Structure 1
Amino acid sequence: MREGGDTRRGESGNPSVTEKDGLAEGLIPKLFNSVPVLNDAASYVAQTTSYFTRFLSDRSVDPKSREPRSSALYEEELVTFPSGEPVATTATTSGDRNSSAAQSIVSESPEAAIAAPAVHSEVSRTTVEDSSGHSSGLQLSNNTGGNGMSIFQGLIDRALRTVRGSADDIGWLQRASGMPPVEDGTERFVEILEDIRHGIHKLPDSVVYLLVPGLFSNHGPLYFVDTKTRFSKMGLACHIAKIHSEASVEKNAREIKEYVEEIYWGAGKRVLILGHSKGGVDAAAALSLYWSDLREKVAGLALAQSPYGGTPIASDILREGQLGDYVNVRKLMEILICKLIKGDMQALEDLTYEKRKKFLMQHQLPAELPVVSFHTEASISPAVLATLSRVAHAELPAPLSTAQAAKLPVVIPLGAAMAACAQLLQIRYKEKSDGLVTCRDAEVPGSTVVHPKRKLDHAWMVYSSLNNDTSEADASQVCEALLTLLVEVGQKKRHQLTSKDE
């Protein structure tokens, strides 16, 4: 048997390695050095083993004396973190190990190791000799601390981010300090809606009504069409903003500003704006960014089911470590928006919580602007799965017997899709939503909030359903009621400002 002093450097002191495996000294180091993947894998396994060994070895220490119970029977490997501070020292037969080294096993937290930059690790086949001259076997070199633990902790952090998702972001506007309180206008809204259903209409013709559609509106020909038709029959000037809905919020805000100025200078009337979904976000951005130019031209803003604070759907698709990473939803959305409909991914990114927080911290709606925010909760009952919505119509060639072309509705199961999304948000985040926007994220600080008890999904506001219930108000009547309430809110706010000035 070899003496400890005759052990060559670079040779393992373990007899099972040196005597039984003649290729270990020459072949294995070359194999690890020539194949970095094996080197990293071996380092990761060794580091993970060391991580658990620290806790096991700590339990064999007497809590009173902090000395090993049998230092001759076991040895601890030296593990040095990237900061250069050793966690534990190699055990010696003399038994006079410093107690602070043992305590560092408990005091050193995994987060401290992860905070340090990752360093490439290698397996060193050097030997460590104790005071008796015996070799301590295979030892990790000083740069092995961060890599394995970083990978391990990185996987844990990624799993936690996936599980938490947008749970900490939903409703952030309600928790933000300095935000003005909201006022509940649901009761007054219900009264106005009931009057409208009985033929009592109070919308003034002294203003022009501008409807701002949301995402993908360019590919829905019937978007807001019923509402505009209804307003026109009442003799009201109404326009649908022809914006590129799949563009960024700031780009659409500029286009809406130009729309308002064109309407104001053409008709000589102020503009009342109603925006649905992303259209409400675009309109609010226009008034936040260009209020000095639009102050005398805009009478108020109504946001219907708008993700003013953001939406977990967009965040979970685009945020790293979320659903978009695992099922390639992000890539599919890029193909859909950028390739198929020639849009900009920025349109969806602007609806994430990160983007909304950054924008709203810099650009808030003016306090003197009358604002109404409307949000609903989608039904998740099994009957909704059979709901079909008419999003367009197809004209067939005119038959020989008649001169009129036949029209067939183009329908898609929007109700079923909204119900599925609403159920997902309910199960994962315990949040009520219309299928795309949670109720809390749709409330604008300082606005008059309307939240009816009736179950309405996100698409109901703009598309006509094939099975409309005549006993309930339709989407155009709801839009009329919202704008009527907005007019009353504007009158009340002007009266308060006048009284304050006096």
Structure 2
Amino acid sequence: MANQILSEICCYYCTEMDDIFSRLLSLTSCITCRVIEFIEDLVLRDVIRLLKDSEINSSCKQPKIGTCTGFLDRDGIYLEDLSFINSGSEIVNRNYSRGVHFVFKGLTLLISFFDFAWRSAIETWRCIGYHKGCVHARLQSIVSRVLRTLNGSSDDIGWLQASPEMAPVEDGSARFLELLQETRNGVHKLPDSFVYLLIPGLFSNHGPLYFVSTKRFFSKMGLACHIAKIHSEASVEHNAWELKQYIEELYWGSGKRVMLLGHSKGGVDAAAALSIYSQELRDKVAGLALVQSPYGGTPIASDILREGQVADKETRRIMEFLICKLIKGDIRALEDLTYEKRKEFIRKHKLPDNIPLISFHSEASVGPGVLATMSHIAHAELPWLPRILNEDADDDAIFAARKVPVIVPVSAAMAITALHLRLRYGEKSDGLVTCRDAEVPGSVVVKPDKKLDHSWMVYSSWKKEPTEPDACEMCEALLTMLVELGKRASK
């Protein structure tokens, strides 16, 4: 709002200044021309009057008796020949006219000089006004960029809930906690009549343990579970097409409908597949659970790639280098998660009404102890280690000895970003996605009773707590609840 008011004031100010300058220039030009014409008329009129007076005086001094050219002196004596006096009078008149001409030329030069000085002053003033306008426009641009940077995503967070055409959500947290407790007690209700597809999120290709423990957990229960092999750093529309092909392949290969569980950008990709290809996937998908997905967008992506803010071009070049050059991805993978792109996509593509939806979101802990939390994201193999330890070891022992855990402080990074979003916008988040942006209109919203960061559902903590549920049990409870929603909708 401040940007709009400032822009309107500056435009009005510049327009009024340009109008004043143009009118002032026209007025000064008109006055200058009138003054010059007035002075010229005065000088010419005086010259003509002087010339007439000189002619009258000449004619009065000549005798009027006959054709005599004589002249009477003061004593009445008539002089016969005074032609030298007439010739002298002509010389005086000629010199007088020449002097008047010189005076006229001098006045003309003086007027021309004043005209030149006035025009130079006008041009100088116009040049100063132009440079003043340039400086003002530059200052306006700087102020606008600073205000846009300071405002950030304040006006965009939670825009889905503010839209009157969006369907309301239903709170299913209580039922989820009941199912989670049953799962921890050994009661497993997931039927084998579905194929369960886990869809990873952004940068999942660089974390080999992404959803691995969850897939292994489902496979031990005899369920058909797969992890979608998609390019995590590709655009949303590209991944939507790949998921559509993947779902159709699973459906026609097994004859079972597919249950989708997408984490982070994986949930956005899955929702895009159902929105764009709703006719093709109508009878092939049984439900979708979006886990910590920025369905409405994320302030992290928007604040990084927002145009019109301070150092926007430099920041975009850095992100293009990191995503496109370093990890061989597509900048649109991050750009599609901004509020601007999500608004454009959601208004163009609507989710189908006949598919059960669950929105799962959480809040990250920002306590000091979280900064020391480490996450196990991958294994590194050391082929030379078994020979040093034991040459007679079997293949399983050798393979286990080669695996060295890769530990990264992911939770610490999530705690820092969650604290940043809390201090800057006053919003609860898991470190990357705010709680309000993760709620899909028309879905059943699930909010756990413990603080979980954005990576908790896919990466296991290095220090596990046996008394607390893990990510595998939460995913099972979510999918069990999704099956119940499907049964309730079919009645």
Equivalent position amino acid for 1:387 in 2: T
Q: Report the counterpart of residue 432 of structure 2 in structure 1.
A: 436
> Any idea what the Cα deviations from partners look like across 1:290-311, whole Å, max 9, x if unmatched?
0100111000000000000000
The question of 1:485 aligning with 2:476 is answered no
The question of 1:411 aligning with 2:397 is answered no
1:82 Cα deviation after fit: 7.0
Q: Report the counterpart of residue 174 of structure 1 in structure 2.
A: 161
Q: Report the counterpart of residue 84 of structure 1 in structure 2.
A: 19
Q: Report the counterpart of residue 19 of structure 1 in structure 2.
A: none
Which secondary structure state, in structure 2, belongs to the residue aligned with residue 215 of structure 1? coil
Q: Report the counterpart of residue 380 of structure 2 in structure 1.
A: 394
Describe how 1:22-421 pairs up with structure 2 within 5 A: 81=16, 84-86=19-21, 128=118, 139-141=125-127, 143=130, 146-322=133-309, 325=312, 328-396=314-382, 397-398=385-386, 399-400=389-390, 401-403=392-394, 404-405=397-398, 406=401, 407-421=403-417
Q: Which has the higher contact order (CA 8 A, sep 6+)?
A: 2
> Any idea what the Cα deviations from partners look like across 1:146-194, whole Å, max 9, x if unmatched?
3222112111111110110111011111111211000000011011001
Tell me if the contact between 2:146 and 2:310 (Cα under 8 Å) persists in the aligned partners: no
Distance verdict in 2 for CA 1:376–1:126, change over 3 Å: farther
Which secondary structure state, in structure 2, belongs to the residue aligned with residue 373 of structure 1? strand
Aligned mate of 1:450, from 439, 446, 453? 446
Distance verdict in 2 for CA 1:199–1:172, change over 3 Å: same
Structure with bigger gyration radius: 2
Which secondary structure state, in structure 2, belongs to the residue aligned with residue 293 of structure 1? coil
Distance verdict in 2 for CA 1:200–1:126, change over 3 Å: farther
Structure 1 unaligned blocks of 5 or more: 1-50, 56-78, 93-124, 130-134, 496-502
Q: Report the counterpart of residue 466 of structure 2 in structure 1.
A: 470
Distance verdict in 2 for CA 1:462–1:491, change over 3 Å: same
1:330 Cα deviation after fit: 3.0
TM-score normalised per structure 2? 0.73
Tell me if the contact between 2:21 and 2:126 (Cα under 8 Å) persists in the aligned partners: no
Aligned mate of 2:420, from 419, 424, 427? 424
Rounded to whole Å, the distance in 2 between the matches of 1:378 and 1:87 is 61
TM-score normalised per structure 1? 0.72
Structure 2 unaligned blocks of 5 or more: 1-9, 28-114
Rounded to whole Å, the distance in 2 between the matches of 1:353 and 1:126 is 59
1:453 Cα deviation after fit: 2.6
1:337 Cα deviation after fit: 1.2
Greater share of helix: 2
Rounded to whole Å, the distance in 2 between the matches of 1:183 and 1:189 is 12
Distance verdict in 2 for CA 1:291–1:470, change over 3 Å: same
Rounded to whole Å, the distance in 2 between the matches of 1:87 and 1:456 is 65
Bigger shift: 262-271 or 387-396?
387-396
How many residue pairs get matched? 380
Equivalent position amino acid for 2:377 in 1: V
Tell me if the contact between 2:362 and 2:453 (Cα under 8 Å) persists in the aligned partners: yes
1:486 Cα deviation after fit: 0.8
1:455 Cα deviation after fit: 0.6
Distance verdict in 2 for CA 1:242–1:415, change over 3 Å: same
> Any idea what the Cα deviations from partners look like across 1:12-49, whole Å, max 9, x if unmatched?
xxxxxxxxxxxxxxxxxxxxxxxxxxxxxxxxxxxxxx
Distance verdict in 2 for CA 1:248–1:82, change over 3 Å: farther
Equivalent position amino acid for 1:489 in 2: L
Which secondary structure state, in structure 2, belongs to the residue aligned with residue 151 of structure 1? helix
Tell me if the contact between 1:189 and 1:450 (Cα under 8 Å) persists in the aligned partners: yes
1:479 Cα deviation after fit: 0.7
Which secondary structure state, in structure 2, belongs to the residue aligned with residue 315 of structure 1? helix
> Any idea what the Cα deviations from partners look like across 1:43-75, whole Å, max 9, x if unmatched?
xxxxxxxx9xxx9xxxxxxxxxxxxxxxxxxxx
Rounded to whole Å, the distance in 2 between the matches of 1:324 and 1:237 is 49
Distance verdict in 2 for CA 1:136–1:420, change over 3 Å: same
> Any idea what the Cα deviations from partners look like across 1:94-137, whole Å, max 9, x if unmatched?
xxxxxxxxxxxxxxxxxxxxxxxxxxxxxxx98559xxxxx899
Rounded to whole Å, the distance in 1 between the matches of 2:354 and 2:363 is 29
Q: Report the counterpart of residue 132 of structure 1 in structure 2.
A: none
